[in-house]
Structure 1
Amino acid sequence: MSLLLATLLQAAHGNTGAMPNLPDDLIHRPPRSNVIEAPANPTSAWLSECLDQLAEDPARAHSKAQIRRTETSGADRVIANHCLGLASTELGLWDDARAAFLAARDETPEGENSARARFGTMAGNAALAGGDAEAAAAMLTAARQDASTAASATLEALAAIDQARALVALNRGEDALNALSAATQLEPAMVEGWLFKATLLRRMDRLDEAQTAIERASDLAPVDGQIGLEAGVIAVLSGREDSARKSWQSVVNTQPDSPAAQTAKSYLAQIGPAADTPAEP
């Protein structure tokens, strides 16, 4: 048995996760687009200007949004908090981002549940990034409720996925799995839900279920590097080294210059060639 395989098996039975990059993806992931579209009007025009500035100079956008927030009310203030939250996110000011998104949510009229769900999800992500998983879980639970009231399956699924990430950080694996199951039922074509579900099931040593989930993710996104990495991890933990090699090699073949390919190459190097592969001279 290779050193990598032994390490993976030991980690699996300890429910600590196997690979350095994959388990953390349940908690940390690249941000989604957090821009809420609005009809063309002076308020949305100001938001567009702020977003343009955000791409060039987030610190200046942050200051501009702070000033705008103190000088306005109603929808204008909501939009100012929206941009302030985005600028704070770019600057890594998680407490500022959380406060701004919460203010935007709370000042959004009760009947506009879709916007409230989006702002609540952003606030929850900021709280999670700032290390407050408990608060993040509560915010994301509220965001799911707002999305459900708005009858938006997509928003509810997104909030449920992020809620699961917060619950994983709190070591509440079964609750996180329930959230991911809800997300995949609400939006069966959302790849992220199936990938995270597979990763969590693998960490819980429920490999048959993890295999089913990763196959669904692969059907939806055949050349996704993270899916290929996770499929290989599940395979090697299940004793299928050849399948693991194929999964990781497929990542290298389809995305040779990606970070996922570099990770796949390291896994392949550690697991070694198949027993029937002739050694190079």
Structure 2
Amino acid sequence: MSILLALLLQVGPDPMAGAMQGDDLVRDRPPRPSAQTQTEQESLNPTSAWLVRCLDQLAEDAARAHAMAQIRRSEVTGPDRVLANHCLGMAATELGLWDDARTAFLAARDETPADEARIRARFASMAGNAALAGGDPADALGLLGQAQQDARAAASAPLQALAAIDVARVLVTLGRSEEALSALEEATALMPERSEGWLLKATLLRRLDRLGLAQEAIEQAARLAPTNPEIGLEAGVIAVLAGHDEAARQSWQSVIELQPESLAAATARDYLAQLDPAETVPAPTTTNEEEPSA
């Protein structure tokens, strides 16, 4: 394991932010040490100790973490500077400073050694997403292209799938739907067991009015994640567009039953209100007619 990866893995849960299930960065991480062991480890490893403090500060005061990372970045080099840029990008993201976030994540990627392709791919993806959030999809596409190249160099299917999904989102923003669909085909081929790619593919196919293929994709997503409310919502939309109102009603009702207080449930209620009322069987009526007297 490289020095940089080891440092990232020491800082606690999800130091790279947004790791996918099955990602090497998650799978290879050892159990979080106890408080005493953590203290001993920090005394031996000031670099990872600093990143722990910066990320902890991020949860309490993002502006302070941002300043802390800027100072650190100006004082160090090598892996220390990579980690300073990482925390700086995270703080800028929390503050909505998308240009700062993009610049910091890209610097972290560029200053990560070339043989650390997995980490370079992650930072490039984070830079691309920051660019997209900042309203620059063209720049985002270029950065995510770098992420794809790095992920391929790392031979990491999870990172390749993640980058392909991000690329698809950008291409949709740019109005390049067919290219976006190709990217989602790649993502679902790389990680067929993940529901996210199938859900996004179903949504895009529905927007392209390819309802048969959209139905196949949403069924696969539902098999993989049957309790995901977003899948239930999309399944209902596809069903109603195909003229299957009752199937749509059942999908949206299931969302409400699963998470009645969620935003998804509120959306499902709005959708249901737009359908014609479900046919109901009238309750049996009884008459109280008196029997004729003898």
Which TM-score tier does this pair reach, normalised by the shorter chain? 0.7 to 0.9
Matched positions, count: 248
Which fold has the larger relative contact order, with Cα–Cα distance below 8 Å and residues 6 or more apart in sequence?
1
Who is 1:123 aligned against? 127
Residue 143 of structure 1: aligned partner? 147
1:32 is the counterpart of 2:18: yes
Indicate the residue corresponding to 1:222 in structure 2. Answer: 226
The one of 141, 155, 158 aligned to 2:159: 155
In the TM superposition, what whole-angstrom CA distance separates every residue of 1:196-230 from its partner, at most 9, and x where no partner exists?
11101100111111111101110011011100000
Residue deviations 1:30-49 (CA, integer Å, cap 9, x gap): x8359x77896322221111
Q: What's the TM-score, normalizing by structure 1?
A: 0.85
User: C-alpha distance in 2, partners of 1:159/1:47?
Assistant: 25
> Which residue matches 2:58?
54
Shift of 1:276: 4.6
Identical counterparts, % of pairs: 65
Of residues 38, 41, 46 in structure 2, which corresponds to 1:42? 46
Task: Indicate which of 263, 266, 281 corresponds to 1:262.
Answer: 266
Identify which of 52, 69, 73 aligns with 1:69.
Answer: 73
CA change 1:235–1:74 in 2 (3 A) is same
Q: 1:186 aligns with which of 173, 187, 190?
A: 190
- Compared CA separation, residues 195 and 245, structure 1 to 2 (3 A): same
| 82, 85, 92: which one aligns with 2:86 | 82
Distance 2:234 2:196 in 1: 12
Going from structure 1 to structure 2, the CA distance change for 1:98 and 1:277 (only over 3 Å counts) comes to farther
TM-score by length of 2: 0.81
Q: Report the CA distance between 1:165 and its aligned residue.
A: 0.3
Q: Classify 1:66/1:278 alpha carbon distance in 2 versus 1 (closer, same or farther; 3 Å).
A: farther
By how many angstroms is 1:275 displaced? 3.6
Show CA shifts across 1:91-115 (max 9, x none): 0000000000000000011111000
Going from structure 1 to structure 2, the CA distance change for 1:73 and 1:173 (only over 3 Å counts) comes to same
Report the AA paired with residue 92 of structure 1. G
**Whose Rg is larger?**
2
Specify every segment of 5 or more residues in structure 1 that has no aligned partner in the other structure, as ranges.
1-30
| Structure 2, unaligned runs of 5 or more | 1-16, 31-40, 284-294
Structure 2 equivalent of residue 21 of structure 1? none
